[in-house]
Amino acid sequence: MAYGMPVFIAAVALPLTLGRIPPNPYYGFRTPKTQSSPSVWYPANRFAGWLLIAASGLTISFNLALWWFHRDWPLGTLILWMAGALVVSVLHSVAGSLVYLRRL
Whether residue 1 has pLDDT greater than 70: no
C-alpha to C-alpha distance for 99 and 103, rounded to whole angstroms:
7
C-alpha to C-alpha distance for 68 and 40, rounded to whole angstroms:
42
> What separation in angstroms does the CA of 37 have from each of 50, 53, 56?
20, 24, 28
Whether residue 97 has pLDDT greater than 70: yes
Query: Structural domain tally of the chain?
Result: 1
Cβ atoms of 32 and 101 within 8 Å: the answer is no
pTM above 0.85, yes or no: yes
Q: What is the pLDDT of residue 42?
A: 98
Q: Which domain covers residue 76, as residue numbers?
A: 4-103
Region 4-32 average pLDDT? 96
Q: What is the pLDDT of residue 2?
A: 75
Contacts of 23 (CB under 8 A, 6+ apart): 34, 35, 38, 41
Q: What is the pLDDT of residue 57?
A: 97
Q: What sign does the dihedral 23-32-43-6 (CA atoms) show?
A: negative
Indicate the DSSP class of residue 3.
T
> pLDDT tens digit string along 24-78?
999 999 999 999 999 999 999 999 999 999 999 999 999 999 999 999 999 999 9
Q: What is the pLDDT of residue 11?
A: 98
